[in-house]
Amino acid sequence: MTAGKRYASSTDVARLAGVSQSAVSRTFTPGGSVSAETRRKVMAAADALGFRPSIIPQIMLTNRSGLVAVIVGGLRNAFYGAVLERFATRLRDAGHQVLLVPVESDYTLDTVLEELRSYRVDAIVSGLAVLSQEVADALSAFRIPIVSCNTSVTSDWVASVDSDNRGAGRAAADWLHRCGGTRFAFLAGPEESPASRDRLDGFRAGLAALGLEPPRVINGDYTYDSGQAAVSRLFADGPADAMFCANDLVALGAMDRIRNGLGLRIPEDVMVIGYDDIPSAAWESYRLSTFDQDPEGLVVQALDLVREMSEQGPARGRVRVVEARFIPRGSTRQPMA
Amino acid sequence: MTAGKRYASSTDVARLAGVSQSAVSRTFTPGGSVSAETRRKVMAAADALGFRPSIIPQIMLTNRSGLVAVIVGGLRNAFYGAVLERFATRLRDAGHQVLLVPVESDYTLDTVLEELRSYRVDAIVSGLAVLSQEVADALSAFRIPIVSCNTSVTSDWVASVDSDNRGAGRAAADWLHRCGGTRFAFLAGPEESPASRDRLDGFRAGLAALGLEPPRVINGDYTYDSGQAAVSRLFADGPADAMFCANDLVALGAMDRIRNGLGLRIPEDVMVIGYDDIPSAAWESYRLSTFDQDPEGLVVQALDLVREMSEQGPARGRVRVVEARFIPRGSTRQPMA
DNA sequence: TTGAAAGCGTTACCAG
DNA sequence: CTGGTAACGCTTTCAA
């Protein structure tokens, strides 16, 4: 138990100012009743001592730490950076502190959760791409409000915010068909990723509704490299001219391989659609058609769920869906009239 | 003062288990002396109540919160994402919690600091691109170990970790010259950014040492868009064939504008060098020659400084420099023998 | 307006 | 090994 340096306490300030400790506390409490004279003496002493009230005892008294944990799994993807930044900003505006928790595996998650519990975090927001129902149920046992982004699992204390993955999948199918696509493919994320699965489900449903063949599917891991590899594997098995990708990074890797590796043109020979609308998607070298996941809406809904759960306690099936907006750019052709 | 839900306390567990509160505390203390029987009873009661020891009272006793604040200003740049992730992981491995603090302006910083003080954070790591000496001195007054990345300012309680910006600038000048560059330009970050200034200083020094003309300089703000705009302004004023950019994002924007806007070839007509080695720099569409800022080294040095400051207290001029490694790729020609 | 005192949940110390 | 008690720094209540 290494000890840190002792901070000036309200008692120290009181002694120096020649007033009671209560007076100091009141001085620093908005609306506290203190005479101008007392306040002056207290402030002078506080300045001299560099005093700032600690929030720690308050936490003990109120059982509210003001801490909200945000769990992320890999910040390589710029989309998570954007979402994380929004979470952090909004949480702070709402008077919370943000505990950043990077997690690599479910194993790490267990360890980490115990720590979060001992810090008495008020809520947990999870941006984990992969979260199983089992883990969600285990989490629920802690009776702490948890919001899971883009995983669809819920439990008593676990709510979920989803992008409209299925709807986007259908829209992608529609669009690619209207633009003249005939041989469809889906470059997936990890098999366990609910978001990737839902996007694929929607894509399949959309193609089926149009009476078209189901897409060929290549699995990957949401990275640029996996997009490149997926294209190689895909074309080794036969050509495709309309692909929907589980996210933008995969799509960008795919585009580069299609153009530089296969020597095909985009969108003339192959059309590509991504997901997320990360900044690079708009860059001139790519002009990737993609879905704006509305990170702002995602964050707003997530925080609203946190609030709702804190106030109302446990309940099953809390799910919010955020619309995804299609942004047509140069990686798809114009739809035919 | 909204109250949260009450957690089970060690007293609750003690009552249920029919032992003293001390016994419960010992059971949860590694190496605490408790009989097997007592431990069994305690664990049973703890499980039933969902008890987990709070760390909050410990913080009061030890004056160590275990919290380290990481201040970031804009996660749009993938480089910061990579660095942040490393900080978070390593800090957690070292037994700390990471408080993520997004800051937009010096004004926000003031507010934020008061909050961090009341949370009794053990240390602050700042990744702010812009940090003035004045702010550093003000920070120092809090007597909390602060490490500032890539800003070179220091103070009693403020240490700094820098990439070897000057050295890299010189290396860039050398390389571009050896590859046949004759008209040099520097696409800068914000004027107040010490990192950008140092890179420029080095670049200038390198060119001067070779007896070459000083580079033309266009200011920007570290974004892709500013890279595009900078190229337009630069060429409106006359051509350039060798540019060094304050960071990769700027360089990528510049490349796109050079190729698509001006119709020039890279590296045949114009050579470009960036800084950071973000993932997109390696993408096939760019193959950007750049400097690897060694984020791992940056983080390691920063955390070592945190440790040193915690142990030894204030001292002036604590600076660590991390080597930047040049990575030649396709955006520069081959050096002439 | 003021000061005294209780209480929050834990660990460390001490006597048994 | 066990249980009682002090201490941490704050806010809140209560009397003065």
pLDDT digits (tens, 9 = 90+) for A223-270: 999 999 999 999 999 999 999 999 999 999 999 999 999 999 999 999
Q: What is the pLDDT of residues A90-100, one digit of tens each?
A: 999 999 999 99
Measured in Å, how far apart are chain A's first and last C-alpha atoms?
73
Q: Does residue B46 belong to any structural domain of this protein?
A: yes
Q: Does residue A253 belong to any structural domain of this protein?
A: yes
Burial of B107 by CB count in 10 Å (0-12 exposed, 13-18 middle, 19+ buried)? exposed
Domain match, B120 and B109 both: yes
Task: Check residue A130 and give its pLDDT.
Answer: 64
Q: Does residue A330 belong to any structural domain of this protein?
A: no
Domain match, A69 and A179 both: no
Q: What is the pLDDT of residues B232-250, one digit of tens each?
A: 999 999 999 999 999 999 9
- What CATH number should be reported for the domain holding residue A20? 1.10.260.40
C-alpha–C-alpha distance, residues A193 and A205, integer Å: 18
Q: Is the model's pLDDT at A77 over the cut of 90?
A: no
Q: Does residue A260 belong to any structural domain of this protein?
A: yes
Domain match, A288 and A318 both: no
Contact B54 A85 (CB under 8 A): no
Q: How confident is the model at residue B315 (pLDDT cuts 50, 70, 90)?
A: very high
Which nucleotides of chain D have an atom under 7 angstroms from any protein CB? 1-5, 7-13
According to DSSP, the β-strands at A123-126 and A146-149 are: parallel
Q: Could you give the 3-state DSSP secondary structure of residue A159?
A: strand
Measured CA distances, A64 to A36, A147, B7, B257 (Å)? 32, 18, 10, 52
Domain match, A93 and A144 both: yes
Domain match, A239 and A155 both: no
Taking only Cα atoms into account, the Rg of chain B, rounded to an integer number of angstroms, comes to 26
Burial of B35 by CB count in 10 Å (0-12 exposed, 13-18 middle, 19+ buried)? exposed
Q: Does residue A74 belong to any structural domain of this protein?
A: yes
Domain residues for B172? 165-292
Domain match, A160 and A184 both: no
Q: How confident is the model at residue B160 (pLDDT cuts 50, 70, 90)?
A: very high
Nearest-CA distance A60 → chain B (Å): 7
Q: What's the rounded mean pLDDT across residues B154-175?
A: 96
- Which of A25, A55, A258 has the highest number of chain B CBs within 10 A, making it the mutation to test binding with B? A55
Task: Check residue A158 and give its pLDDT.
Answer: 95
Q: Does residue A221 belong to any structural domain of this protein?
A: yes
Please give the helix or strand (H or E) that residue B233 lies within, else none.
helix B224-236
- What CATH number should be reported for the domain holding residue B245? 3.40.50.2300
Cβ of B33 less than 7 A from strand D: yes
Domain match, B201 and B219 both: yes
Tell me the average pLDDT of chain B: 94
Nearest to A7 among B6, B56, B63 (CB): B63
- Which of A113, A285, A287 has the highest number of chain B CBs within 10 A, making it the mutation to test binding with B? A285
C-alpha–C-alpha distance, residues B115 and A93, integer Å: 12
Q: What is the pLDDT of residues A148-185, one digit of tens each?
A: 998 888 999 999 999 999 999 999 999 999 999 999 99
Q: How confident is the model at residue A84 (pLDDT cuts 50, 70, 90)?
A: very high
Tokens of B246: 């304050």
Domain match, A179 and A202 both: yes
Domain count, chain B: 3
Burial of A108 by CB count in 10 Å (0-12 exposed, 13-18 middle, 19+ buried)? middle
The one-letter code for the residue type at B140 is S
Domain match, A43 and A140 both: no
Q: Does residue B330 belong to any structural domain of this protein?
A: no
Q: Is the model's pLDDT at B256 over the cut of 60?
A: yes
Q: Does residue B269 belong to any structural domain of this protein?
A: yes
Task: Check residue A3 and give its pLDDT.
Answer: 75
Angle at B278 between CA B273 and CA B281, to 5 degrees: 50
Q: What is the pLDDT of residues A304-324, one digit of tens each?
A: 999 999 999 999 999 999 999
Domain match, B180 and B251 both: yes
Q: What residue has token string 């005939």? A: A182
Cβ of A1 less than 7 A from strand C: yes
